[in-house]
């Protein structure tokens, strides 16, 4: 048995992993799907002071409070920033780090450094009435849909879990200064159906720990835990 900690991306909640939990749990593993501060049931706590550091602390708390070790830590999208910060804080508790169609930062980078397109969203939020709220991205024409989800029933479900993103999440830089974090093996899972103009950084041929890069692909849109849960679970189970 291993412990999976699955961290959702911007605007979502831990509920987005609902289809993954029985698949990983049915294989005999424990699965934790926390909702980050400021989303879902904790949306009332969202505000201009909620940022990347808040979310790193959220996940560190889940792992330490439950005394989890040998964790397979999965970060989707924006949560690539979060899990990077987490492994820097508690590298001895993390067995595998998975970037799921995610931002992959270097030390001192913010989400805006990785995806310059987010700077327009940041500027819009700062100019808005609230000064900090970033509304969810809009639904796009097929085959891109809402975060890559195209089934009408699934789109309706996804909309129930979306809430505004605090702008500070994209402004704060991640701290990656613990050498122990480099020893943690990494896996990158890329979703191949993405709108034009959405570019990801190439993955280095060698991981920070010296092992060859491990990059897997899923032929689906961004929210692959909703569109291809069985296939995603199959990949994650290969790491157990």
Tens of pLDDT along 20-64?
999 999 999 999 999 999 999 999 999 999 999 999 999 999 999
Question: 186: domain range?
Answer: 3-237
- Range with the lowest mean pLDDT among 93-97, 152-156, 199-203? 199-203
CATH number for the domain harbouring residue 34: 3.40.50.1820
pLDDT tens string 167-207: 999 999 999 999 999 999 999 999 999 987 778 889 999 99
Q: What is the pLDDT at residue 200?
A: 87
b/e for 140-173, b at 16 or more Cβ within 10 A?
eeeebbbbbbbeeebeeebeebbbbbbbbbbbbb
Indicate which residue of 77, 84, 110, 163 is catalytic.
77
Look up residue 123 and give its two tokens.
Answer: 């500027």
Report the pLDDT averaged over residues 148-154: 97
Share of the chain above pLDDT 70, in %: 100
Q: What is the pLDDT at residue 135?
A: 95
Instruction: Of 122, 143, 103, give the one whose Cα is nearest residue 9.
Output: 103
Share of the chain above pLDDT 90, in %: 92
User: Is a pLDDT exceeding 90 seen at residue 145?
Assistant: yes
Q: What is the pLDDT at residue 176?
A: 96
- What is the full DSSP assignment across 140-196? -STTTTBTTB--HHHHHHHHHT--PEETHHHHSPP----GGGGGS-EEEEEE----T
Q: What is the pLDDT at residue 212?
A: 98
Give the predicted TM-score (pTM) of the model: 0.97
Q: What is the pLDDT at residue 58?
A: 98
Verify whether residue 77 is a known catalytic residue: yes
Q: What is the pLDDT at residue 198?
A: 79
Question: How many structural domains is the chain composed of?
Answer: 1
């Amino acid at each position: 048995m291993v412990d999976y900690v699955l961290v959702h991306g911007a605007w979502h909640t831990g509920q987005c992993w609902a289809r993954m939990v029985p698949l990983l749990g049915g294989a005999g593993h424990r699965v934790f799907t926390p909702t980050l501060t400021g989303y879902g049931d904790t949306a009332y706590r969202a505000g201009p002071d909620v940022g990347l550091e808040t979310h790193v602390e959220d996940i560190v708390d889940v792992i330490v409070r439950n005394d989890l070790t040998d964790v397979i830590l999965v970060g989707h999208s924006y949560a690539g920033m979060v899990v990077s910060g987490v492994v820097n804080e508690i590298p001895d508790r993390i067995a595998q780090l998975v970037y799921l169609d995610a931002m992959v930062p270097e030390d001192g980078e913010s989400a805006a450094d990785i995806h310059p397109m987010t700077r327009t969203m940041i500027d819009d939020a700062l100019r808005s009435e609230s000064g900090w709220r970033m509304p969810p991205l809009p639904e796009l024409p097929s085959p891109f849909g809402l975060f890559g989800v195209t089934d009408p029933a699934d789109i309706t479900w996804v909309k129930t879990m979306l809430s505004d993103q605090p702008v500070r999440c994209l402004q704060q830089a991640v701290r990656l200064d613990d050498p122990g974090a480099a020893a943690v093996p990494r896996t990158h899972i890329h979703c191949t159906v993405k709108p034009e103009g959405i570019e990801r950084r190439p993955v280095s041929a060698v991981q920070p720990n010296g092992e060859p890069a491990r990059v897997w692909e899923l032929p689906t849109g961004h929210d692959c835990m909703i569109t291809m849960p069985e296939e995603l679970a199959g990949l994650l189970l290969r790491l157990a």
